[in-house]
Structures are given as C-alpha cells and as structure tokens.
Amino acid sequence: MKRYVILISGRGSNMQALIEANLPGTCAGIISNRPEAAGLAWAAARGLPTAIIDHKAFPSREAFDAALAAEIEARGGELVLLAGFMRVLTEGFVRRFAGRLVNIHPSLLPAFPGLHTHEAALAAGVRIHGCTVHFVTPALDSGPIIIQAAVPVLAGDTAEALAARVLAQEHRIYPQAARAILTGRCRLADDGRVVWQGEATPAGAALCVPAEG
C-alpha cells in the first residue's frame, strides 16, 4: 500500500476532502510550513501524523525545501499532494519528486495560472471556469494535466461566489485524481503525458451558454 503525504499552509479543506475520501493508501503525514495552520489541528484530532517545517526558520528557499524533502522521505512518502500549500517550490525539490508531486489549482489551466484566478476569470469575461489537478513541474502551474472540472460563470457572480462553486469541485476531483494515481490507473509517462488506463473518448461537446428566458 502506497504512502502519501499532504502539504498544507492553512485550513486544508482539500486535505480534509482527501482524507475523508478514504484513499487506497496510508497517510504518512500532514506537513505544514506554518505552525498556526488550522488544518494541523483537524488532522491531529483524527489521529493523523503531523509535522511542521516552518519556512521562516530557514535562511533560503533551498534550505527550506531540503528540510521539507528530508521530512517527506523520512516518512516514506511515495506521493506528495499539495493542498493549499502556499510556497513556490524550487526546481531541485520538484525534480526530486518528479512524477510524484501533484497540485490542485483553481482555474482551468493553462488559463489563469498564479494567484487571484477568480478575479482574473471574471475580468476576462469567460463563460466557464473551474479547477485543475496536475503534476508539478518547475514551471509554475504548467505541469501535465490529470483531471479538470468546470463550472458556469453566472451573471452577477462575485469572486467569492465563483470561488465557492469552484472549491466544491476541487473537493470532488482531487480525491479522484489521488485515488487513480495510488491505484496505478493514472500515471505520468516518460514523454510527459498523463496516461489513464481504460480512458473512454466522450462524444459530443459540453456547452455553457446563457439559459433562455
């Protein structure tokens, strides 16, 4: 049974969704770079192992990432799931865990990488928005896509309302992606493509247009 670790920086709502999904593996640890992260208390209350690697205690990003990598490997982590982990990881760290490092991003990548994705989506006037689970590469939010979910952008939407709609989908697809990787149904091929076993080719198209009055 594979061992996975989850990295958080805050309340860890995606971490909670992953844990509550009863993934086919062993949670080897919930690790945070912030001692005050609320998700640590949630995890500890459920008997999950936790650890703090405070980024403020290190003189450089490289030193922090080295300590974080050592903690993950000491716990036998075979899959690393970023769940609201608010650190840009160094290229050395990303390459160390290549093919085993996964993130969820609140947009339909490659659209709207980085921060403030919901505001950017509203400003661009897109009709659909969503979230993406992807393998992490050194280029920010540019790794091979594993799974995506889309939501409509509604008339009168605020960034907060849109974010809540997207977050509900994050909680749905992140456990699906993690389960597929842990069971071997989904993997990153040597050529950088994401390969799914038994993936069907859907017919037709999904349309997102305003409803007729």
Residues 6+ apart with CB under 8 A from 2: 24, 25, 26, 78, 79, 182
Tens of pLDDT, residues 25-80? 999 999 999 999 999 999 999 999 999 999 999 999 999 999 999 999 999 999 99
| pLDDT value of position 17 | 98
What does pLDDT average to over the chain? 95
- Residue 170 tokens, joined: 């994050």
Identify residue 112 by its one-letter amino acid code: F
Identify residue 40 by its one-letter amino acid code: L
- Strands (DSSP E) found in the chain: 3-8, 26-32, 50-52, 79-82, 101-105, 128-135, 145-152, 186-188, 194-196
In this predicted structure, the answer to whether residue 185 has a pLDDT above a threshold of 70 is: yes
| pLDDT value of position 198 | 83
For 6-25, what is the mean pLDDT? 98
Tens of pLDDT, residues 108-156? 999 999 999 999 999 999 999 999 999 999 999 999 999 999 999 999 9
Give catalytic status of residue 116 as yes or no: no
Confidence of residue 12 (pLDDT cuts 50, 70, 90): very high
Tens of pLDDT, residues 143-165? 999 999 999 999 999 999 999 99
- Name the active-site residue from 55, 105, 118, 129: 105
Residue 94 to residues 1, 17, 29, 46, Cα–Cα distance (Å): 23, 24, 19, 29
- Which domains, ranges and CATH numbers included, belong to the chain? 3-196 (3.40.50.170)
Tens of pLDDT, residues 187-210? 999 999 999 998 766 667 666 666
